[in-house]
A and B are shown apart, each in its own frame.
Chain A
C-alpha cells in the first residue's frame, strides 16, 4: 500500500511539472502584459509584475477596439451561419438513406482538409469582382465555408447517438423531416451542438491567413492588428503581451467548457468519449 502511495505521489509531481511546461509560457506572457517598458528590460527580470499597472491594456483597447469588434462580429456570425448550413446537412447524411451519401459525406470532409492558402487568391479575385473585399461579409462567408465540413462531420457524430427507433416512430406518426429535425434531433443533441459551436467559434476567432489576404483597413480583425504590432521597428512588448492576452481569453475560457468533448471534436468525431 505504501509503495503505491509513493508511486502516486511521484506521478502527481511529474504531472504537475508537465502542466507547468504548458502553462508557464502563457503565464509569463500574462505577467508581461502588466509590465512597463522599463520593467520589461529590467535585469534580473521582474518576476512578479505590479498587477495594478494596466496601461498596456488601456492603450491596446483604445487603439484596437474596432478590430476587436470586427473579430467578434465575424466570429459570431460565421459560427451561426455555419450551424444553419451544417446541422440540416448532418441530419440528412445521418438519417436519409440515399445512394452516394457516403461519397457526399467524404467529399464534404475532404474540403476541410484542403489548404486555405490554395483558395485565397481565387476568393480574393471573386470578392474583388463582387466589390466585397475588405468587408466583414466576405470574411464571414469564407470562414463559414471553411467551417462547414468540420461542423457537418462532428454534428453527424452526435446525431448518430439518437436512437433510430425514435425517428422511425415519428415517421410512422406522419411527422415531417423538418419536424423531426427541429423537435427531436436538435433538442436531443444540444450538448453536441454546443461543442460544435465552440469549436467553430475558436477556429474563426483564431484565423489569420485569410484575414491577411482579404482585409486592408476597415475590416481588419484583431489578429491582424496584433501581428502589425510586431512588424514595427520598435516593438512595445507590454502592448503586444496585453493584446495577446486579450486574444487568448476566449479560447482559454471555452476550452474549459469543451473538456469531455475535446478529443471527439479534434478528431472530427472519430473518437467517442
Chain B
C-alpha cells in the first residue's frame, strides 16, 4: 500500500513538473535572452547588452509602439462590437428559445468560434479578393463602388481585421450573454410586466445588471485572446500595408523568425508577457471568485 502522501503527490506533481519545464522555463528564458544581442542562427555569439533591446523597441523604433497601439485598437474595437452585437443576438435567441429550429440556428451561429483561425482568415481573404471576391462583386454591382485591394490600404485593412476578428468571436459573446439572460429569474420579468415597464427599462434595470458579471468575464477572456492575436494577421495582412495592422505577436514572430533577432524579439515577447500577466491576474482573480460562488448560473 502506497502511503497517502505519496499517492496525493503522484496525482499532482507530474503536471507541475511538466508545466515548469515547458511553460515556466521558456518564459524565464525569454527574459534572460531579452538582455542579449543575439541571432538565432549564431546563438553561441550572443553578448550581454542589458536594457538596450527594450530601449530601442520602445523609444527608438516606431514599429513596436505602433504594434502595441494596433493590438489595443483592434482589441478594444472588436470587443465593443462583440458585446453590442452579441447582446442583441442573445436577446433574439433568448426570446425564441422555445421555438422549433432555435437550437439548430444557434448551433450554426456558434460554428465560427471553434473554426481554425487560419481558415477564418482564408475565408475572408477569398471573399475580399479584389478580382474574384464576392464582396467586390456585390459592392460593384449593388453600390457601384469600384473594387480595390481592401487589405492593401491602411484603414480598410484595419477595419477588415477587426471585422474578421469580431465575426469569429461575436457568437462567443452571444452564447455567454445568452447563458447570462437565462439566469434572470422569471419573476422579475413578471413583476416588470405588472409594473408596466417598457423594454428599455427591462433591459437597463433587470437584464444588464444581472449579466454584468458575464460581460466582464467575456471581456477579460477576449482581451487575453486579442493580445496574442496572430493567425488572422499572418494569413491576411502580414501586418501591412506598411505597419498599419502590425500587432505585438506578429511583430515578435517576424523579429525572431524572419530577421532572427532573438534578443530584440525576446524583449518584445517579454513586454507582451508583462501586459498579459496584468490581464491574467485580473482574469484569474475573477475566475477564482466566480468559482468560489459555485459558478455563474
Which residues of A approach B to under 8 Å, CB–CB?
Answer: 7-8, 11-12, 14-16, 18-19, 21-23, 25-26, 28-29, 32, 40-41, 43-45, 85-86, 88-89, 91-93, 96, 98, 102, 104-106, 108-111, 113-126, 141-142, 144-146, 148-149, 152-153, 157, 176-178, 181, 202, 205-206, 208-209, 212-213, 223, 226-227, 230, 237, 240-241, 244, 247-248, 251-252, 254-256, 258-259, 262-263, 266-273
A18 pairs with B89, CB closer than 8 A: yes
Enumerate chain B residues within 8 angstroms of A269, measured Cβ to Cβ. Answer: 291, 295
**Which B residues are in CB contact (< 8 Å) with A124?**
40
When distances are taken between beta carbons in the complex, the residues of chain A under 8 Å from B297 are: 271-273
Please give me the 10 A-B residue pairs with the lowest Cβ-Cβ distance, nearest first. A145-B22, A119-B26, A122-B26, A92-B11, A122-B29, A118-B269, A113-B280, A272-B297, A89-B15, A272-B295
CB-contacts of B1-43 with A (<8 A): 1-2, 4, 7-8, 10-12, 14-16, 18-19, 22-27, 29-30, 33, 40, 43
Task: Let me know if A23 and B291 touch, CB within 8 A.
Answer: no
B61-76 CB contact bits vs A (8 Å, 1 = yes)? 0000000000000000
- Report whether over half of chain A's contact residues are helix, strand or loop; otherwise say mixed: helix
Alpha-carbon distance between A109 and B277 when the two chains are bound, in angstroms:
12
Interface size class of B (residues with CB under 8 A): 35 or more
Interface residues of B in 87-119 (CB under 8 A from A): 89, 92-93, 95-96, 99, 101-102, 105, 107-119
Cα(A8)–Cα(B270), bound, Å: 52
Chain B residues within an 8 Å CB radius of A268: 221, 287
Determine which of B26, B127, B141, B257 lies in contact with A28 in the assembled complex, contact meaning CB atoms within 8 Å: B127
Once A223-B116, A251-B116 are accepted as A-B contacts, the answer to whether A108 and B40 lie under 8 Å apart by CB is: no
B290, closest chain A residue (CB)? A270
Q: Number of contacts between A and B (CB, 8 Å)?
A: 300
A86 and B15 contact, CB distance less than 8 A? yes
A149 vs B275: C-alpha distance when bound (angstroms):
20
Tell me whether A118 and B14 are in contact in the complex, defined as CB-CB below 8 angstroms, given that A15-B105, A251-B114 are known contacts: no
Residues in chain B near residue A208, CB distance under 8 A = 116-118, 230-231, 234
**B214 CB within 8 Å of chain A:** yes
B111 contacts across to A, CB distance below 8 A: 22-23, 26, 251-252, 255
Interface residue SS majority, chain B: helix
Q: Are A113 and B114 in contact (CB under 8 A)?
A: no
Q: Is the CB of A270 within 8 A of B257?
A: no
- Nearest neighbor of A229 in chain B, beta-carbon distance: B122
Say yes or no for B279: interface residue by CB 8 A criterion: yes
- A12-B96, A119-B26, A122-B26 known; A206+B107 contact, CB < 8 A: no
Chain B neighbourhood of A22, CB < 8 A: 108-112, 167, 171
CB distance from B273 to the nearest CB of A (A): 5
Question: Of A7, A41, A240, which contacts B126 at CB under 8 A?
Answer: A240
Stretch at the interface among B172-180, B187-195, B202-210: B172-180
Are A108 and B11 within 8 A (Cβ)? Answer: no
Is A177 a contact of B11 with CB atoms below 8 Å? yes
Q: Is B54's beta carbon under 8 Å from chain A? A: no
Q: Does B57 make an interface contact (CB < 8 A)?
A: no
Chain B hits for A116, CB < 8 A: 228
Which residue of A is nearest B272, CB measured? A115
| Residues of A contacting B131 in the complex (Cβ-Cβ under 8 angstroms) | 41
Q: Indicate if B82 sits at the interface (CB-CB under 8 A).
A: no
Given known contacts A115-B249, A226-B118, A148 and B101 CB-to-CB distance under 8 angstroms: no
CA distance A91 to B10 in the complex (A): 11
Residues of B within 8 A of A255 (CB): 107, 110-111, 113-114
Do residues B109 and A18 form an inter-chain contact, with CB atoms below 8 A? yes
**Residue in A110, A114, A125, A258 whose Cβ sees the most chain B Cβ within 10 Å:** A114
Contact indicator A227/B256 (Cβ below 8 Å)? no
B15, A227: Cβ atoms closer than 8 Å: no
For B94, the closest partner residue in chain A by CB is A11
Known contacts A206-B117, A230-B122, A254-B114; decide if A123 and B19 are in contact (CB<8 Å). no
B296 beta carbon closer than 8 Å to chain A: yes
For A120, the closest partner residue in chain B by CB is B256
Shortest Cβ distance from A37 into B: residue: B132
Alpha-carbon gap, A12 to B96, bound state (A): 7
When the two chains form their complex, are residues A271 and B114 in contact, meaning their CB atoms are under 8 A apart?
Answer: no
Q: Across the interface, do A202 and B231 meet the contact criterion of CB distance under 8 Å?
A: no
In whole angstroms, what is the CA distance A237 to B129 when docked? 10
